[in-house]
Structure formats: C-alpha cells, structure tokens
Chain A
C-alpha cells in the first residue's frame, strides 16, 4: 500500500465516522431550544423549584380536576411547554426521553416518574 492510498483510506474512514455521527445527532435535542433555556428562572426561584416542584403540581392537579381551576401558576402542562427541547428538524423532543429535562434528574435521583404514563410529553397541539 502506498503512502497516498493510506492517506486516502484514513480520510475516507474519518469522513464515514463523521457522517455516522451526524446522522446519529438527527432527532436528538438541541441545547438552547427550550423556552426555559431563555428564561431567567421558572415560576419560582430555581432552588425552590428543585425542592418543591412535585408539591406544586400535586396540589395543582387536585384543584384542576376537582375545582376546575386551570389558570394556576403551577401546571404540568406548563413544565412540558417550557422545558421540552427541539431536535435539529424543529420537532419537540419528549421531556421524559433519555437525558432530557425530566429524565435527566429523575434518572440520577432514581425517582420513577408516573406523570407521563398518561400526560403528553411534548408541548400542546394548539
């Protein structure tokens, strides 16, 4: 094998690797595409949200289902609307997909999340 052909082979394999990497990227979330990425803080200061977000939405769910209050500050639909990122094609990525906003922490903290067995994981259709 000549030196030239070796270089050609290397270049081709590097290009192939690059292409396969790029194609793996398609469908994955792009950082900075969620509404929340552009905001200073959530509906409460970040440390409060980290500790209490589940309390907020658990109370809110009863108010919404039983009393019909839908204009409240806290809502799961609000979480999804703000925190879902988009992929390169502009399509929303589910918040509970691997490594995404909800999954990222819950996976680390070993909290199994039941919200999304029923609730929609990407922002609303309207």
Chain B
C-alpha cells in the first residue's frame, strides 16, 4: 500500500470518528463526551442557546436534591449566616439559585412542585435595568452578572419577575475557585457556566435530579434532548405574557 493511500485512510477514520461523536452527542453520550473535555478557547457564539425543560409532574414533593446539588456546585453552602443576624430573615435573604415553589389549586387541592431559577430570558428585564452593564446576556443565552462591574444596586432583583436573584449581604469567608463571591454583589443561576465552558454539557441540578424532571441542552439544536422533549410534550413559559422568551420551560403546571 502506498504511503498516500495510508494517509487517506487515516484521515477518513479521523473524520468518521468525529462525525460519530457529533451524532451521538445530543442525548445519551453526554457524560462520556465530557470526560475528555477541554476548557473553551474560542468565544461563545449564538449558534447555541442553552435551555431547560422542567416536568413539574416528575418533581417530587419534599425532594431537595437539585437545590442541594446547586448549593454544592456553586459554593452556596459555604455562605454562613452573618453573626447576630435574625435566622428567619436569613432564611428569606440567603443566596439561593434555585427556589422550590409549591403551587396549590384551591379548587381541586392538587399540589404541584417546581424548581424556580433564573429563566435565562431572551429579553431579560434585569439586563434592561442594569445601570452599569454588569447584568448581561451571553451570546449562548446565559444571563449572568459580571461581578467586576456590579455595584450592588439591586435594580435587577426588583426587575426580575421570577425572583431569581440573590444579594450577598456580608463578606464570605470560604469560596470556590470557579464561583467567586463577595459582599455587595448580585448573583443568580448561570446554568453552571463553568461546567459548560469546560466542555461539559450538564448542570448540577439536572445531574442530581433522581426523577429526571430536568432536561438541559441546546434549544437551537433540533436533535438535542431538550428540543426533542419540547417538541413532544406541551410546555409553557412562566409569565409568557411578558414576552421574554425564557430559556427555561415547564410542562404539567
């Protein structure tokens, strides 16, 4: 066999392996792919829009797995109550990226549970009101706070229809490398951006949900698990009347 021919075969194998990886990517092979993931070196683009579908029917009453996983991943469990603070006030004001919401239909008595976090709107009100540009929407649809320029005015907290943002009231002694946190800044769910930027494709809450109530993925990719699920099941945006085009959708509420 000539040398060129060998080369050709090698190239063919390389490209076909790459193609296989791409077709397998949405859905099943997500975890395997993330094993050899590398940190991102190119800017994010709007080719991807990250989004989520949450099935409220599968979300079990009393389960706190997603909140616990979020707290651990993002170092929220390291934030202690400031000394001398009122415990009930602390419970209401402590930083939380996922809130557990319980809905009760007064007529039928049916109870629905759902996790509520930043909805990653296409037209985010928090970004509209931010006076410094700290609140911004990344090209791939993630709404974030650049804490380097956040002045802690909390306009965004007022503007958010989903009560998704938290404020850090006191200095934080212990923090994680990938989640810096300091007194006087606002923060909220960022779809575990450090995972996505390092080539992973799951969020901590999705991974932790034993009931498979959360599907996460690329809304722009028609073959992704989340797009497929959105196509298959009826879903709603919360406060759809605001026309924010949220990245987080719910079914069965």
Chain A residues with CB under 8 Å of chain B are 61-72, 77, 80, 117-120, 123-125
Is there a chain A Cβ closer than 8 Å to B10's Cβ?
A: no
A-B contact pairs, 7 of them (CB 8 A): A65-B146, A67-B43, A68-B43, A69-B197, A72-B41, A119-B175, A120-B176
Residues of A within 8 A of B40 (CB): 68-71
Residues of B within 8 A of A68 (CB): 40, 43-44, 138, 140, 193, 196-197
On whether the beta carbons of B198 and A70 are closer than 8 Å, the reply is yes
Specify which of A62, A70, A117 lies most central, judged by the most chain B CB atoms within 10 Å of its CB.
A70
On whether the beta carbons of B44 and A118 are closer than 8 Å, the reply is no
Please name 6 further chain A to chain B contacts, defined as beta carbons within 8 Å, in addition to the given A70-B197, A117-B171, sorted by A numbering: A63-B43, A64-B197, A66-B146, A69-B40, A70-B198, A120-B175
- Once A66-B136, A67-B44 are accepted as A-B contacts, the answer to whether A120 and B193 lie under 8 Å apart by CB is no
Tell me if B's interface is mostly helix, strand, loop or mixed. Answer: loop
Closest 4 CB pairs of A and B: A118-B182, A71-B39, A67-B43, A118-B180
In chain A, what residue has the closest Cβ to B146?
A: A65
On whether the beta carbons of A120 and B177 are closer than 8 Å, the reply is yes
C-alpha gap A24/B139 in the complex (Å): 52
Choose one: A64, A71, A77, A120; the contact of B38 (CB below 8 Å): A71
On whether the beta carbons of A118 and B41 are closer than 8 Å, the reply is no
Interchain nearest-CB distance for B102 vs A (Å):
33
Choose one: A62, A64, A118, A123; the contact of B175 (CB below 8 Å): A118
- Once A118-B181, A125-B177 are accepted as A-B contacts, the answer to whether A70 and B146 lie under 8 Å apart by CB is no
B137-163 residues at the A interface, CB under 8 angstroms: 138-140, 144, 146-148
Is there a chain A Cβ closer than 8 Å to B194's Cβ?
A: yes
Interchain nearest-CB distance for A58 vs B (Å):
9
In chain A, what residue has the closest Cβ to B136?
A: A66
Residues of A within 8 A of B146 (CB): 62, 65-66
Interchain nearest-CB distance for A39 vs B (Å):
20
- Once A65-B148, A66-B138 are accepted as A-B contacts, the answer to whether A77 and B196 lie under 8 Å apart by CB is no
On whether the beta carbons of B148 and A61 are closer than 8 Å, the reply is yes
In chain B, what residue has the closest Cβ to A115?
A: B180
Residues of A within 8 A of B116 (CB): none
In chain B, what residue has the closest Cβ to A122?
A: B177
On whether the beta carbons of A118 and B185 are closer than 8 Å, the reply is yes
In chain A, what residue has the closest Cβ to B185?
A: A118
Kindly supply a per-residue 1/0 record for chain B positions 28-48, scoring 1 wherever the CB is within 8 Å of any chain A CB and 0 otherwise. Answer: 000000000011111110000
Interchain nearest-CB distance for A116 vs B (Å):
9
Is there a chain A Cβ closer than 8 Å to B239's Cβ?
A: no
C-alpha gap A118/B197 in the complex (Å): 20
Interchain nearest-CB distance for B17 vs A (Å):
23
In chain B, what residue has the closest Cβ to A121?
A: B175
- Once A66-B146, A68-B40, A69-B43 are accepted as A-B contacts, the answer to whether A77 and B177 lie under 8 Å apart by CB is yes
Is there a chain A Cβ closer than 8 Å to B183's Cβ?
A: yes
